[in-house]
Structure 1
Amino acid sequence: MYIGSVVVVAYFWRLRQAYEFFKRLNIPGPPPILFFGNFLELIKSKRLSISMKQWTEKYGRIFGYFEGHTPILVISDPDILQDVFIKSFSNFHSRRSFPLADQNAKLVNMFSASGLRWKRQRFIINPTFSSAKLKQMTPLINRSINMLMKKMSEQYNKGQPFDIYAYYKRFTMDTIWSCAFGLDTDMQNNINNPYLIHSQQLFGEKVNVRLIVLIALFINELNKFWRKIHLSIGAISYWCRHYIPITKRFINEDPPTWIMKQAYKIIEKHQKVGQTNRTDLLQLMFESASDEELIQDSRATDITNEETEIEPPLIRKLTKHEIVSNIFLFMIAGYETTSTALSYITYILATHPNEQQKLQHEIDTHFNPETEDDMPSYDTVSQIEYLDMFIRETLRLYPIAPVVVNRQSSEDFHIKGIGTIPAGTRIAVDMYSLHYDPDLWGPVDPHIFYPERFETKRHAMAWIPFGAGPRNCVG
C-alpha cells in the first residue's frame, strides 16, 4: 500500500513537471488540467482543428497545448513552418509517433516510418505518381469514372434526392484497388463487396480501440504494455472466430486484419504468376521486393533538405510486410480523403452557380464538339487551369485531414523570438488559421470562395492541405 502511494505521488509530481514545459519556454497556451491536459476542451469542440484555430486567435501564431501530459507546439507562422518543413527538413524528417505505434515492427508503412526507413520506402514508391505513370493509369481511372457517371444518370432519372457521398466512396475505393493494386472489384455495382464493407468498417467507431488509444495517450510511459494489450485483444478475437465458429455471431472480424490478410494473399498470387505488364503501385513495390523479414537500413548520406529531391538510400528494397502495410496505407489514405474532397467540390458546385458556369465554359473550350463524348486525356485535364484553381480553392476552404500534417524534431532547434526548443518536440500545424489568413490570401475575403486568388503567387506555406517539403503527401 505504501509503495503504491509513493508511485502515485511520484507519477503526479512528474505530471506537474511536464506541465511546466511551455512555461519554461515562455510560450503561451490554454492551461492544462492535471492528467487530462487540454483533452476536455477538445471534447467540447469535437474537432481538434477547430480548437487550434480558436486557440490561435487567443494566444497567437505560436502556442502550446497538452495531450495528456505530452506537449504539442502549434505553429501557424508561415516563415517558421517553411523552416520546419523545408529548409531544416533534416531535423524534422519524421512525423510524431502515435499511441500504440511501434517503429521497429515489421508492418511499418511510409506514413509512420521514420528516418532512413521512411527514406527508403519513399524513394521506391515516389515514381508511381510521376506524370508518365499516371498517364498509363488513365484508362483504368476513366473506366471507374464511366461507371460513376452511369450511376449518377440512373439516380437523376429517378427524380429523387440521394446521398452522393456513398457513391463517391464506392467510386474512390473501386479506383484505388484497380489503379494501385490491379484488383477489379466492381464495388460501384456490388455494395456488398467485402473489400468495401471492411473499408467502411475501418472508419467506424470501435470502442475498445478508442479506449486503449486514449489510455495510451494519457499514460504514454506504458505504451509497450498498451500495445501488447491491443494486439492480444486482436489475437483472442481472431482465435475465437477461427476455432469457435459460434463466436462469429457477436465478434466481428477486425477490418485492418482482414485487409492485410487479403494483401498477403495478393502477394502470394503475384509470386506464383510472376511479372505482369500492369503499371500500378503494387507492381512497382513487387519490383523492389526483398525476401528478408526486416531490412537494416544503412546511411548513404544525410537525409536531404531539398524540397523536391530524396537522395537514394543504400538499400532499395521493401519487405513483404512493408508492401502489405503500404497497401493498407494507400487504401485508407485515399478512400475517405478523396471521397470527402469530391463531396466538398460537389457542394461548392451546387452553391456557387456562377463559378460552376465559368468552370463548365473552361472545360468546354478544351473539347472538340465532334468528340465531346470521348474521355479527356491526362494532358487535356492538366491544361484546364481554372479546374486546378477551383479544386485548390475548395481544399483551401475545406482541408480534408488538417491534423495529420505534423512533425517531430530530432534535434534542438531555435525559433527567433522564442528560444531553443528541445529535441523530440511534437509540432502541429494550425491549417485553418493559415488557409483563412487575410494577410496570406487577401485582398478578397478568405471566407469567400474565389478560385482566381490562385492566379497570384502566395507564400510557399500558405496552402498545405497535403503537407509540404520532402515528406508531403506522395499522391
Structure 2
Amino acid sequence: MLTLILFTCVLYILFIYYFNLRKRYQYFERQQIPTPSYGQFFFGHLKQLWQTKSGYSRQLQEWTRQLGSIYGFYEGSTPVYVVSNVDFLHEVFVKQFSNFHARKSSIQTHLIKAKHLVESHGSNWKRQRQIINPTFTSLKLKTMSPLIDNSIEELVKKLNTDKLFNIYLLYKRLTMDVICRCAFGIDTNMQDDPDNIYLHKIGQIISTDFEKLHLSKLCRVIPKLSWIFAQIFLFRNNFNRLMNFICGHLMKFEELPNLWLFNRIQNVIDMRSTNIEQRRIDLLQLMLDASAEGKEKLSYEEVKSNVFLFLLAGYETTATALAYCTYVLAKYQNIQGKLQMEIDAENDEYLDLFIKEVLRMYPIPIQTINRRCMIDEASVCGYKIHQGSIIQADIYSIHYDPILWGPHPTNEFYPERHLEQRHPMAYLAFGQGPRNCIGMRFALLEIKLVLRRLLKEYTIVQINEEIFYPIRETAVIRPNEIQIQLRKR
C-alpha cells in the first residue's frame, strides 16, 4: 500500500513538472516572439548550441539573420532573449538597470563559492563595486605602470627577428606575469619558465570548455539544482586530495585547477594580512586599503574571489586582444606605419582608434554580455520580460551592423569610424552600463604599453594567416596561433 502511494506521488510530481515545462516552452509563442526550430523538450535549444561547429556567438548571429533583432531560445526551460536592437539593450543595461542588475549564473558560482563582482548582484554587488572602483582610477593605475613595464622588458628579450614565431604564446606568458605581479604581488618569472605552475593551472582553467562537461550541461538544463552538481565537483576534488595524502607516493590525483588557484590566493592573502612587510603596490593591496578606508568593507571571501576574478579576466582576454592587434598590424602595413609615426611623436590618438576597431571586429568575452530579469515582470520596448529570463546581447550582429557603423563597410578595418559619435550600445567590447568591465582601464593601459614598445622597436613584416584559424570559443573567442616575423627598426 505504501509503495503504491509513493508511486502515485512520484507520478503526480512528474505530471506537474511535465505540465509546467510544456507551459514554459510556450513562453515566446505567447508573446509572438520567433524562436529557432528544432527545440527539444527538456533541453530546449541547448543541444543545437552544444553541437554547432561555428561556436555559440556565431550561432546567435546566424539566428539573428534568420529571425531578426529580437528573438528567443530556451536554455533548458530558461527563456533567453537574443537582442541586437540597441534601443532595447539600452533600456536593459542602462535605463532599467535596477530591474536587470544580475548576470546569468553558472556552476562556477557554487564551485568556488564565488562572491566576486561578476557573480554578485543587488546591494552586495553595489557595495563591492563602490569599494573596488577607486582601485582602477587613472592615478592608481599609474602606480602599477612600472610593474607592467618590467614585464614588457622581459617580453622584448624573447622576441625573435630570425624567423616566424608564435607571439600569442609570448603574450599569454606576459599577461600572466603582469596580472600575477599587479593583482597580488607574486614575481613568478614565468616568461623564462614555460612550465610555471601558475601558467599551467590557469591555462587548464581557460582551455577547459565547461559547456562540454556533463555536470555543467546539467546546470544549464536544470539551473535550480546547480548547487547539487557543484557539490559533486567538490566531492571529487576533496576525494583526490585525500588520495594524494594517503597514497601520494604511489600515484598522483590532480586537484581541480580553479580550486588549486583559489587556495594559492588564500595563502597570499593570509601572508599579507599577518606580515605588514609584505605590503606591495598591487590590486590586492589597493582593494584592502579601499576597504579599510570606507565604512563598507570587503569580506575576506570577497577579496579572495575578486583577486581570483582579476587573475582569470586579466590573463587570456588581454593576451587575445594583443594577438588580434598584432594580426591586424601585420595584415595592414599602412596602418602599422601610421601608428609607428604617431608613437614616435608621442601621440596616442590613432592608437586609441586602432584598439577600438580591433575590438569591434574581434570582440572577445561575448557570452558574459547578458542580464537577468530580477523582478516579476518588466516592460521593455513593448515586450514583457519575466523574472529569471535572460537578455543576451548578440555582439557580432551589433558590431557589424552597417546602420550603426557605416557608411564605411563594416567588414573592413577602418579605425577612423570611431571618430564619429555612435549609439551608446553600438560598441560592447567591455559591456555597457553600471556593470561594464571594471578592469577596462587596466586592460587598455597594458595593451597600449605593449604596442607602444613593440612598434617603437620593431616592424611586423610577415604573418602566417593560415595559422590564425580556426577561431576557438570557450570563455573567450581566440585564434589558434599568431605566427609572425619581426624586423628591427
**TM-score interval w.r.t. the shorter chain?**
0.7 to 0.9
Supply the AA of the counterpart residue of 1:415: V
Quickly say closer, same or farther: Cα 1:206–1:65, change in 2 above 3 A: closer
Q: CA deviation at 1:451?
A: 0.4
Q: Is 1:109 aligned to residue 74 of structure 2? A: no
- Displacement, 1:77? 0.8
Instruction: Show the counterpart of 2:100.
Output: 92
Give the drift of 1:227: 2.4
Contact 1:63 1:73 in 2 (8 A): yes
Query: Does the 8 Å contact 1:100/1:226 carry over to 2?
Result: no
- Output the TM-score relative to the length of structure 2: 0.83
Residue 106 of structure 1, CA deviation: 5.5
- d(CA) in 2 for partners of 1:410 and 1:315? 27
The answer to whether the Cα contact below 8 Å between 1:100 and 1:224 also exists between their aligned partners in 2 is no
**Greater mean alpha carbon deviation, residues 194-203 or residues 5-14:** 5-14
2:291 aligned with 1:267: no
Aligned pair 1:82/2:90, yes or no?
yes
Identify if the C-alpha distance between structure 1 residues 242 and 119 changes in structure 2 by more than 3 Å, giving closer, same or farther: farther
Correspondence for 1:123: 130
Tell me which residue corresponds to 1:414: 379
1:253 pairs with 252, 255, 260, which one?
A: 255
Q: Give the share of equivalent positions with the same residue, in percent.
A: 41
Residues 1:397 and 2:405 aligned together: no
Q: Answer whether contact 1:100 1:223 (CA < 8 A) is retained.
A: no
Query: 2-side partners of 1:85 and 1:61: how far apart?
Result: 16
Question: Paired residue for 2:316?
Answer: 336
Residue 68 of structure 1 is aligned with which of 76, 85, 104?
76
Do residues 449 (structure 1) and 413 (structure 2) align? yes
State the AA in 2 paired with 1:283. Q
Amino acid at match of 1:318: L
The 1-side partners of 2:197 and 2:35 are apart by 46
Deviation, structure 1 residue 414: 1.2
Q: Secondary structure at the match of 1:279?
A: coil
Corresponding position of 1:133: 140
For residue 23 of structure 1, what is the aligned residue in structure 2?
29
SS at match of 1:469: coil
Following superposition, the deviation at residue 14 of structure 1 comes to 2.7
Partner of 1:11: 17
> C-alpha root-mean-square deviation of aligned residues, in Å?
2.2
Contact residue 436 and residue 447 of structure 1 kept, 8 A:
yes
1:431 aligns with 2:395: yes
**2:200 is matched with which residue: 197, 220, 228?**
197
The equivalences for 1:16-415 within 5 A come to 16-31=22-37, 32-42=39-49, 43-99=51-107, 101-102=109-110, 107-152=114-159, 155-156=160-161, 159-205=162-208, 210-246=213-249, 248-249=251-252, 251-274=253-276, 278-287=280-289, 316-366=296-346, 383-411=347-375, 412-415=377-380
Instruction: Report the Cα offset of residue 101 of structure 1.
Output: 2.8
The code of the aligned residue for 2:20 comes to R
Q: TM-score, normalised by structure 1?
A: 0.85
Distance in 2 separating the partners of 1:185 and 1:438: 46
SS at match of 1:266: helix
| Comparing 72-81 and 275-284, the one that deviates more | 275-284
Unmatched tracts of structure 1, length 5 or more: 291-311, 367-382
Aligned to 1:376: none
Q: How far apart are the structure 2 equivalents of 1:206 and 1:448?
A: 31
| Partners of 1:466 and 1:473 within 8 A in 2 | yes
The number of equivalent residue pairs is 430
Contact 2:83-2:391 at 8 Å conserved across structures? yes
How far does residue 219 in structure 1 lie from its aligned partner after superposition? 2.5
Alignment partner, residue 300 of structure 1: none
Seen in structure 2, the aligned counterparts of structure 1 residues 288 and 126 have a Cα distance that, compared at 3 Å, is closer
Quick one: distance in 2 between partners of 1:196 and 1:359?
32
The answer to whether the 8 A contact 2:374-2:388 is kept is yes
Paired with 1:108 and 1:13, the residues of 2 have a C-alpha distance of: 35
| Alignment partners' CA distance in 1, 2:29 and 2:198 | 49
